[in-house]
Structure 1
Amino acid sequence: MSFWWVILVIVIMLVIVYMGSSNKAKERKEKQDSFIKEQENEGVILSNKTDIENGIIAIDKNREKIVYIDDKGDTLVTKEFSFSDIIACELIKDGETIYKKSATRTIGGAIVGGVLSGGVGAIIGGLSGSAKEKEKINSIDIKITLRDIDTPNFKFNFFEYKGTRMFLDLSIKSAEEWKDRITAIIEIQDSKK
């Protein structure tokens, strides 16, 4: 009989933990939605909203800004990055840069941006390779370099291994989309010069 009591206690503990994390996720989502609605009431239209490990990343096309909402604390904190201030974008897997795009205006036009690790095929292969490779990925980040002395760069964390890789495929897809989106922003800003 004591075996079944142990199993019952374990099941009850798992249910309590699940309900607690579910409530926390619900509260987080409500806080995000409320904040975004406030922003929209002030005329800020956010598109391409994506939940990432360290908050939400979105685009405000009207004001030409990337908007980052840090929702990990008690209050929401926003950071905005003007398209014109972005001078480079890096896709980083486990601390290693596997893609980098630089604005031509930052290097005098000598090189048109840069792709590391053998081109676009290597980028996609580097992130979305075999299932065995995916199991080894511990972090995926996008780093932007900015024309700002006080904040010269910022890192968006799309995946951080925390005991499970359940959402790794979704994180890879989101990181690749944002890498492409920021690359397009850099290209558009370059074409304006």
Structure 2
Amino acid sequence: MSSFFGKNKKADGKDLKKFSPTTKIGNHLWIDENNKLLMISTKMYIKPKFLLSFDDLISHSIMINGKTLIKSNGVGRAIGGGLLFGPAGAIVGAITGSSKDKSYVNILMISMEISQNGKIKKENIPFIAGTKTKIDSAQYKTIEIEMQEVINALDKIINSK
């Protein structure tokens, strides 16, 4: 398997052949609950191609405009607005509280910490990459919903281990 960042050496042909998604969240995350596998998209607008086992996933963070906003290892920790409104609320809270131009996002992604071949590395699931997206737009609200679904699924996987 190839990813945006290079070869996915952990994904052997045997796992790829048995991967059969039971859940699909857009083109961001596909999950095979029967075989305990997940496949993520590491590039915008491309279907998932990076295969991992549930055991490979350590934690995830929300990255917004280059800053880590929320880090979760499956226990539901959050900061700021996220305590009241969940991760989407924390995203809006971080935007409106930390920048001079509070009306858009350039970069929004989930950064996953994974164990691969005995090493810890990061892989990203991009939702917004390099385009100014207004936080009050319909497009952004759709992205927030999809991102929340991915976060919930990743938390469920981490908690199941």
Tell me, what secondary structure is at the counterpart of 2:103?
Answer: helix
Once the 2 structures are TM-superposed, how far is the Cα of residue 163 of structure 1 from its aligned partner? 4.8
Q: Which residue of 2 aligns with 1:31?
A: none
Moved more, 134-143 or 152-161: 134-143
TM-score (norm 2): 0.65
Bigger proportion of residues as strand: 2
Q: Which amino acid aligns with 1:115?
A: R
Once the 2 structures are TM-superposed, how far is the Cα of residue 147 of structure 1 from its aligned partner? 1.4
Change over 3 Å in CA distance of 1:63–1:42 after alignment to 2: closer
Contact 1:128 1:134 in 2 (8 A): no
Q: How does 1:69-148 map to 2 (within 5 A)?
A: 69=41, 78-102=49-73, 113=75, 115-118=77-80, 119-121=82-84, 123-128=87-92, 135-148=103-116
Contact 1:140 1:172 in 2 (8 A): no
Q: Which residue of 1 aligns with 2:156?
A: 184
Once the 2 structures are TM-superposed, how far is the Cα of residue 124 of structure 1 from its aligned partner? 3.1
Pair 1:48 & 2:10 matched? no
Cα distance in 1 for partners of 2:140, 2:112 equals 21
Cα distance in 2 for partners of 1:134, 1:60 equals 38
Q: Which amino acid aligns with 2:61?
A: E
* Unmatched 5+ stretches in structure 1: 1-40, 104-112
Contact 2:106 2:132 in 1 (8 A): no
Q: Which residue of 1 aligns with 2:129?
A: 160
* Unmatched 5+ stretches in structure 2: 1-16
Contact 2:29 2:48 in 1 (8 A): no
Q: Bigger relative contact order, structure 1 or 2, given CA contacts below 8 A and separation 6+?
A: 2
Contact 1:90 1:144 in 2 (8 A): yes
Percent identity of the aligned residues? 17
Change over 3 Å in CA distance of 1:95–1:121 after alignment to 2: farther
Contact 2:44 2:129 in 1 (8 A): no
Change over 3 Å in CA distance of 1:100–1:169 after alignment to 2: same
Pair 1:57 & 2:29 matched? yes
CA RMSD of aligned residues (A): 3.4
- How many residue pairs are counted as aligned between the two chains? 134
Change over 3 Å in CA distance of 1:93–1:44 after alignment to 2: same
Cα distance in 2 for partners of 1:134, 1:81 equals 36
Change over 3 Å in CA distance of 1:186–1:127 after alignment to 2: same
Cα distance in 2 for partners of 1:97, 1:162 equals 19
Cα distance in 2 for partners of 1:100, 1:161 equals 22
Contact 2:44 2:127 in 1 (8 A): no
Contact 1:142 1:155 in 2 (8 A): yes
Change over 3 Å in CA distance of 1:120–1:182 after alignment to 2: farther
Tell me, what secondary structure is at the counterpart of 2:89?
Answer: helix
